[in-house]
Copies of this chain bind each other. A is one copy, B any other.
Amino acid sequence: MAYDLLQTIAGPADLKKLSVAELKTLAQDIRDAICDQVSQTGGHLAPNLGVVELTLALHYVFDFGPDDDRLLFDVGHQCYPHKLITGRLDLLSKLRQRGGMAGFPEPGESDHDLFSVGHAGTAISTAVGMARGDQLMGQGGHKVVSLIGDASIVNGVALEGLNNAGTLNRQFLVVLNDNGMSIAKPQGAMAGYFDRIRVSHRYAGFKSKSRSILERVPGGRKLQSLYHRSTEALKAMLKSEHLFEHFGLTCVGPVDGHDFDTLIPLLQEIKLMQRPVLLHAKTIKGKGFDFSTGDPTAFHSPKPFVVNGCRVDVKSSGRAFTEAYADAMIELMNKDDKVVAVTAAMPDGTGLAKVAKALPDRVIDTGICESHAMDMCAGMAKTGVKPFFAVYSTFAQRALDQVFQEVALQKLPVRVCMDRGGFVGGDGAVHHGFMDIAMLRTLPNVVQLAPCDEATLQAGLKFMHEYDAGASFIRYPRDSVPTEPLQAETPAFELGKANPIHASDHDKPAAAILAYGVMVNTALAALPGLQQQGYDIAIYDARFAMPIDIELIRSLIEQGTPIVTIEDHALEGGFGSIVLDACNQAGLPTDQVKRLGMPKSWAGPDSRGNQLAEAGLTPERLASAVRELIDQRDASPVVVPDPVPTPK
């Protein structure tokens, strides 16, 4: 491994010994290390390349550490440079894999990381908490810095955080990493605002006497005095007309976020300001990597790729549910011009980028605003439009209250398509879709369904398109669709009805597997082994978690067939739990019901396959669960009523 200078950096202390010229070499090392690794394993490429200088300058000026200054990353996918200079170069070769470097901040890896994050917009709010907390604990000397991108800062939580940060009466720095691209193209009016303000001042020739002046500036809203009393150089950087001045922050910039000669002296100055400050830094997403700079959206978080002359080929891994979803949406939208597709800044991740190419006027990207997007869908549904909101399951959590009030309570037919249901692989604990069923199940007027292959995805979407009585939520995983449909003919979805996938050889099977979503494939994979061992099993594709097919369950239980449920959702409160509730409500015993699902623990970065295996959601474990249930039943004494004596 090369990266000679990077290898000498065991921690921030080593960094501080470097000259600015050496910092530039280090920046190149970091870029090389990241590019080399991401090309092999995939990962967040462009966001990390964009913040190399910002990260180094922040560590150069501040003293971040467990009992010292606080550095909080928003979203966190831009933490690789930070990780590489805090002793984790050796973990890089297993980026986003078990035992390797997580793709997001991870306190379990290093106490240089404060929060495990992955969802956007939270850093300013947690930073406000730490600033207040340190103050209350008598540790007000710890400086607090948060690093947030321009797409995240328009998220509601971030704006709430900024508004509250503006009331702080102490040092508090928000670094706005404005690359004008973020995950996809930024949306909303503020994006246009960011776009209009260009780097207009170069911070150079900073005069050291301004420091002593600034040290005497008291907290509070004294921007004007700063204007008049500080040096010309700093004066030029302060922006009274900046948007976030209205939030009570002193705004500095925009500055060139790749220029150490600007960043370092400026941060040294800002560090001393006993007030909330926003430093607006303009950066280039994917800086230093040509392919990445050219198409930062595609290279936001690419799969493994190879640099092949001038072409970059992304390695394929089968047809994803995401792509199947995109194609199904295009078909649906071509048939009905009332259908509109909505995303909250994830056009690539949800497949809507492809839809937008085909039907640009009917795809709406709200930016990272899941709460707003859900409400906007509610408003659209109210007018008769048919909105389909494509969102990761984990991000749908951000709109629960909107589902409750603006959607379910109004009985509005908003359609929500939840990608990344279940384990997500390398993104780890911050992105698994494990709680959607549980959080939605209390709501009246909400239907929950799941496909098991591409044909059922299409059929499920068709059902949702026609279902106008309330909201419908479909979930599917970050996984490939089976290469062949599971059934030669896929029956249409019928509300609350499961679909038999494999019938028993006899009138009454030894056990039934009731699988939700793609776990149907797991059940089918378990079947041959069970059959070989002489177990006669029926398999049902549950299709609906809500309403549950209680008639099917009743008939199975009443005929004495044990049931195994399987789902890639939290076992606690999930699909199997709905089955138990429904049985109890219907007066049916549940001692012959066994459930498999995700355990109550946090699964770190790994392949989705390994995560499923760890959770016991494999054909082998399913088969043994089925066998145990059957064997246990057969072993227990069956009470056969005495035959009534036949009258002679």
Contacts and interface: CB of A to CB of B under 8 A. Distances in A.
Copies of this chain: 2
Contacts of A401: 119, 395, 397-398, 400
A598 to B, nearest CB: 9
A405 B116 contact: yes
A110 interface: no
Interface stretch (A203-211, A288-296, A324-332, A571-579): A571-579
A160 B156 contact: yes
A156 B157 contact: yes
Most B CB contacts (10 A, CB to CB) among A114, A158, A248, A375 go to: A375
Interface in A603-648: 639
Contacts of A602: 409, 444
Given A164-B187, A577-B577, A639-B639, A405 B376 contact: no
Interface string A228-248: 000000000000010100111
Contact of A376 (B128, B156, B400): B128
A590 interface: yes
Interface stretch (A30-38, A189-197, A313-321, A461-469): A189-197
Contacts of A444: 600-602
A410 B160 contact: no
A385 interface: yes
A268 B381 CA distance: 29
Nearest to A364: B132
Interface string A119-135: 10010011111111110
Contact of A405 (B117, B588, B600): B117
Interface stretch (A54-62, A77-85, A429-437, A514-522): A429-437
A297 interface: no
Contacts of A550: none
A369 B221 CA distance: 23
A400 B369 contact: no
A397 B406 contact: no
Contacts of A122: 375, 402, 405-406
B190 A441 contact: no
